[in-house]
Structure 1
């Protein structure tokens, strides 16, 4: 039993030689009157092609994807809120966790949300979905802890 679980866990971490592919865009670079990066509406994946994070076409090389959202507070410049979204590859997670979102409000009242993920095209989604490696690791740790406790 433990041999099978160990093999499954190990196989989720084997390097296959392929880099993750992420969408890359910034709402700050949108043409006037267009929302191509999904700041105010749904992100249209048909208008973008995920790039290989280890190729030259990637703005920033990395091993996972990020979607960064910033939004101004209410009543900012007579209630003219702004919102910006950036999608790209990244190599460093500011909170040290991937396949999760972290959010908060900075000292100026600007809402921020950073979502990190590790599957191809995952930063095109509105939410982050756990990978099979994360789920498998959680199951193994849960089984291991239950054996120690009981």
Structure 2
């Protein structure tokens, strides 16, 4: 496993990292920090990538784990700062109006639910989602059904 092969795979799957970053980081500095942290952690883990799963599945798992850790650290910092709020990030020029609407709805979901729906929207089947998230396939099926209902409710309120 060489640096060249790693960089090539990261470039091919850059969209995965960007999706995770956009769903879990609100401002530009946080997005930059999270992106760099995902790259760093995936580079450290790359020698242990055995190829038993697709690279995209492996990268999603790393990205989501790093994002959730990042988010937990941010929450601790925000508790220290009284009254701080963050706006939902979506750059208007980067997303269509419909995609912007959907991103905003997804941002209202619980952290794990965001991960599940994002993977589903990216075409992963429920078995793959359960492997990436680390929950049973049955639990994934139930959660996905409930997430869809919750999103429908959110989207219909607007």
TM-score, with structure 2 as normaliser: 0.22
Please identify which structure carries the higher strand content.
Answer: 1
Please identify which structure carries the higher helix content.
Answer: 2
TM-score, with structure 1 as normaliser: 0.23
